[in-house]
Protein backbone atom coordinates (compact mmCIF):
# COMPACT_ATOMS: atom_id res chain seq x y z
CA UNK A 1 0.00 0.00 0.00
CA UNK A 2 1.39 3.37 -1.07
CA UNK A 3 0.39 6.48 0.88
CA UNK A 4 -0.23 9.72 -0.99
CA UNK A 5 -0.89 13.09 0.64
CA UNK A 6 -1.87 16.16 -1.36
CA UNK A 7 -0.15 18.12 -2.72
CA UNK A 8 1.64 15.28 -4.50
CA UNK A 9 5.09 15.64 -6.04
CA UNK A 10 6.04 14.54 -9.55
CA UNK A 11 8.63 12.22 -8.01
CA UNK A 12 5.91 10.38 -6.08
CA UNK A 13 3.80 10.03 -9.22
CA UNK A 14 6.69 8.77 -11.36
CA UNK A 15 7.29 6.02 -8.78
CA UNK A 16 3.78 4.61 -9.34
CA UNK A 17 2.88 1.89 -11.83
CA UNK A 18 -0.36 0.38 -13.03
CA UNK A 19 -1.73 -2.09 -10.51
CA UNK A 20 -0.39 -0.21 -7.50
CA UNK A 21 -2.86 0.37 -4.67
CA UNK A 22 -2.68 3.78 -3.06
CA UNK A 23 -4.20 5.29 0.06
CA UNK A 24 -5.02 8.93 -0.62
CA UNK A 25 -5.46 11.69 1.99
CA UNK A 26 -5.73 15.44 1.73
CA UNK A 27 -7.66 18.06 -0.20
CA UNK A 28 -9.06 17.22 -3.64
CA UNK A 29 -11.51 18.93 -6.03
CA UNK A 30 -14.51 17.43 -7.80
CA UNK A 31 -15.04 18.44 -11.43
CA UNK A 32 -17.04 16.82 -14.17
CA UNK A 33 -18.48 17.87 -17.55
CA UNK A 34 -19.58 21.46 -16.95
CA UNK A 35 -16.60 22.24 -14.72
CA UNK A 36 -14.11 20.95 -17.29
CA UNK A 37 -15.81 22.91 -20.07
CA UNK A 38 -15.67 26.03 -17.90
CA UNK A 39 -11.94 25.57 -17.22
CA UNK A 40 -11.13 25.04 -20.88
CA UNK A 41 -13.16 27.97 -22.15
CA UNK A 42 -12.33 30.48 -19.41
CA UNK A 43 -8.82 29.54 -18.25
CA UNK A 44 -6.99 27.62 -20.97
CA UNK A 45 -8.21 28.23 -24.52
CA UNK A 46 -8.54 31.96 -24.04
CA UNK A 47 -6.49 35.14 -24.00
CA UNK A 48 -8.58 36.65 -21.21
CA UNK A 49 -9.21 34.81 -17.93
CA UNK A 50 -12.89 34.51 -17.16
CA UNK A 51 -13.88 34.18 -13.52
CA UNK A 52 -10.49 35.47 -12.29
CA UNK A 53 -11.35 34.98 -8.61
CA UNK A 54 -12.25 31.34 -9.22
CA UNK A 55 -9.06 30.87 -11.23
CA UNK A 56 -6.90 32.17 -8.39
CA UNK A 57 -8.65 29.85 -5.94
CA UNK A 58 -8.31 26.77 -8.12
CA UNK A 59 -4.65 27.22 -9.06
CA UNK A 60 -3.14 26.31 -5.66
CA UNK A 61 -5.68 23.52 -5.15
CA UNK A 62 -4.91 21.85 -8.48
CA UNK A 63 -1.13 22.31 -8.56
CA UNK A 64 0.12 18.96 -7.33
CA UNK A 65 -3.52 18.19 -6.70
CA UNK A 66 -6.24 15.74 -7.59
CA UNK A 67 -9.41 16.07 -9.66
CA UNK A 68 -12.24 13.67 -8.87
CA UNK A 69 -14.83 12.99 -11.60
CA UNK A 70 -17.85 13.00 -9.32
CA UNK A 71 -21.37 14.41 -9.15
CA UNK A 72 -22.01 14.08 -5.41
CA UNK A 73 -25.24 13.93 -3.45
CA UNK A 74 -24.81 16.66 -0.85
CA UNK A 75 -26.73 17.54 2.31
CA UNK A 76 -26.54 20.79 4.24
CA UNK A 77 -26.03 20.73 7.99
CA UNK A 78 -27.85 22.98 10.47
CA UNK A 79 -24.78 25.22 10.77
CA UNK A 80 -24.74 25.83 7.01
CA UNK A 81 -21.84 23.49 6.26
CA UNK A 82 -22.17 20.61 3.81
CA UNK A 83 -21.58 16.88 3.94
CA UNK A 84 -21.38 14.27 1.18
CA UNK A 85 -24.12 11.65 1.33
CA UNK A 86 -22.99 9.83 -1.80
CA UNK A 87 -19.83 10.36 -3.82
CA UNK A 88 -19.60 7.75 -6.54
CA UNK A 89 -17.28 8.23 -9.52
CA UNK A 90 -18.50 9.52 -12.87
CA UNK A 91 -17.54 7.80 -16.13
CA UNK A 92 -14.29 9.55 -16.98
CA UNK A 93 -14.12 9.18 -20.76
CA UNK A 94 -16.48 12.14 -21.12
CA UNK A 95 -13.63 14.39 -20.02
CA UNK A 96 -11.17 13.02 -22.60
CA UNK A 97 -11.50 16.12 -24.86
CA UNK A 98 -10.39 18.34 -21.95
CA UNK A 99 -8.27 16.48 -19.42
CA UNK A 100 -4.85 16.62 -21.07
CA UNK A 101 -4.97 20.42 -21.24
CA UNK A 102 -6.20 20.68 -17.65
CA UNK A 103 -3.37 18.44 -16.42
CA UNK A 104 -0.77 20.50 -18.28
CA UNK A 105 -2.15 23.92 -17.39
CA UNK A 106 -2.69 23.40 -13.67
CA UNK A 107 -0.07 20.78 -12.87
CA UNK A 108 -2.62 18.20 -11.75
CA UNK A 109 -1.01 14.99 -10.46
CA UNK A 110 -3.96 12.58 -10.34
CA UNK A 111 -7.38 12.07 -11.86
CA UNK A 112 -9.92 9.87 -10.11
CA UNK A 113 -12.90 8.32 -11.84
CA UNK A 114 -14.21 5.08 -13.30
CA UNK A 115 -13.75 3.41 -16.64
CA UNK A 116 -10.41 4.96 -17.52
CA UNK A 117 -9.51 7.54 -20.16
CA UNK A 118 -8.09 7.63 -23.65
CA UNK A 119 -4.78 8.22 -25.44
CA UNK A 120 -4.70 12.01 -25.05
CA UNK A 121 -4.95 11.79 -21.29
CA UNK A 122 -2.48 8.91 -21.14
CA UNK A 123 0.03 10.96 -23.17
CA UNK A 124 -0.44 13.91 -20.80
CA UNK A 125 0.14 11.65 -17.80
CA UNK A 126 3.42 10.54 -19.35
CA UNK A 127 4.52 14.02 -20.42
CA UNK A 128 3.63 15.95 -17.28
CA UNK A 129 3.72 13.37 -14.50
CA UNK A 130 0.19 12.33 -13.61
CA UNK A 131 -1.78 9.15 -13.01
CA UNK A 132 -5.35 7.94 -13.29
CA UNK A 133 -6.74 6.37 -10.11
CA UNK A 134 -9.70 4.05 -10.45
CA UNK A 135 -12.52 4.28 -7.91
CA UNK A 136 -15.08 1.53 -7.44
CA UNK A 137 -18.39 2.25 -9.13
CA UNK A 138 -21.53 1.46 -7.15
CA UNK A 139 -19.89 2.30 -3.82
CA UNK A 140 -21.09 5.90 -3.54
CA UNK A 141 -22.05 5.77 0.12
CA UNK A 142 -18.87 3.95 1.11
CA UNK A 143 -16.73 6.49 -0.74
CA UNK A 144 -18.60 9.33 0.97
CA UNK A 145 -17.43 7.93 4.31
CA UNK A 146 -13.85 8.71 3.24
CA UNK A 147 -14.80 12.40 2.87
CA UNK A 148 -13.96 13.93 6.23
CA UNK A 149 -14.88 17.50 5.38
CA UNK A 150 -16.42 19.65 2.68
CA UNK A 151 -14.09 22.63 2.78
CA UNK A 152 -15.60 24.83 0.07
CA UNK A 153 -17.71 24.87 -3.07
CA UNK A 154 -17.41 27.01 -6.21
CA UNK A 155 -20.03 27.67 -8.91
CA UNK A 156 -22.80 25.75 -7.13
CA UNK A 157 -25.50 28.23 -8.09
CA UNK A 158 -24.25 28.62 -11.65
CA UNK A 159 -23.57 24.96 -12.50
CA UNK A 160 -25.75 23.09 -10.01
CA UNK A 161 -24.77 20.75 -7.19
CA UNK A 162 -23.51 17.77 -9.25
CA UNK A 163 -21.44 19.94 -11.61
CA UNK A 164 -19.96 22.35 -9.08
CA UNK A 165 -16.35 22.40 -7.93
CA UNK A 166 -16.51 20.80 -4.47
CA UNK A 167 -13.35 21.12 -2.38
CA UNK A 168 -13.20 18.16 -0.03
CA UNK A 169 -10.76 16.60 2.42
CA UNK A 170 -10.45 12.82 2.22
CA UNK A 171 -8.62 10.36 4.44
CA UNK A 172 -7.22 6.91 3.65
CA UNK A 173 -9.20 6.49 0.44
CA UNK A 174 -7.99 3.33 -1.27
CA UNK A 175 -7.65 3.52 -5.06
CA UNK A 176 -5.92 1.60 -7.85
CA UNK A 177 -3.49 3.09 -10.37
CA UNK A 178 -4.87 2.05 -13.77
CA UNK A 179 -3.03 4.60 -15.97
CA UNK A 180 0.50 5.62 -15.03
CA UNK A 181 3.12 8.14 -16.12
CA UNK A 182 5.05 5.51 -18.07
CA UNK A 183 2.53 5.02 -20.87
CA UNK A 184 0.75 2.01 -19.36
CA UNK A 185 -3.06 1.73 -19.24
CA UNK A 186 -4.81 -1.28 -17.73
CA UNK A 187 -7.98 -0.14 -19.50
CA UNK A 188 -6.31 -0.40 -22.90
CA UNK A 189 -4.76 -3.74 -22.00
CA UNK A 190 -8.12 -5.18 -20.96
CA UNK A 191 -9.73 -3.86 -24.15
CA UNK A 192 -7.06 -5.44 -26.36
CA UNK A 193 -7.17 -8.76 -24.52
CA UNK A 194 -10.98 -8.83 -24.66
CA UNK A 195 -11.02 -8.11 -28.39
CA UNK A 196 -8.45 -10.83 -29.03
CA UNK A 197 -10.43 -13.36 -26.99
CA UNK A 198 -13.67 -12.40 -28.76
CA UNK A 199 -12.03 -13.03 -32.14
CA UNK A 200 -10.88 -16.43 -30.92
CA UNK A 201 -14.37 -17.33 -29.71
CA UNK A 202 -16.10 -16.40 -32.96
CA UNK A 203 -13.42 -18.00 -35.12
CA UNK A 204 -11.91 -14.87 -36.63
CA UNK A 205 -8.33 -15.98 -35.92
Catalytically annotated residues: 36
Q: Cβ distance 93 to 118 under 8 Å? A: yes
Contact 72, 30 (CB under 8 A): yes
Half-sphere exposure of residue 69, counting CA atoms within 13 Å on the CB side?
A: 26
User: CA-to-CA distance for 73 and 37, rounded, in angstroms?
Assistant: 21
Helix axes 96-106, 119-128, angle to 10 degrees: 10
Cα dist from 185 to 67, 87, 119, 120, whole Å? 18, 24, 9, 12
Q: Which residues contact 50 (CB under 8 A, 6 or more apart)?
A: 41, 42, 43
Amino acid sequence: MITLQTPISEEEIRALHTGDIVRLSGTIVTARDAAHKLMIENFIRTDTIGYPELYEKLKPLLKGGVIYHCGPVVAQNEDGSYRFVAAGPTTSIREEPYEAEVIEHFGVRAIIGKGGMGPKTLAACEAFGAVYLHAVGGAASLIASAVEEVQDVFMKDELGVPEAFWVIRVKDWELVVTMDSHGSSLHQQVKEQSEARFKELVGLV
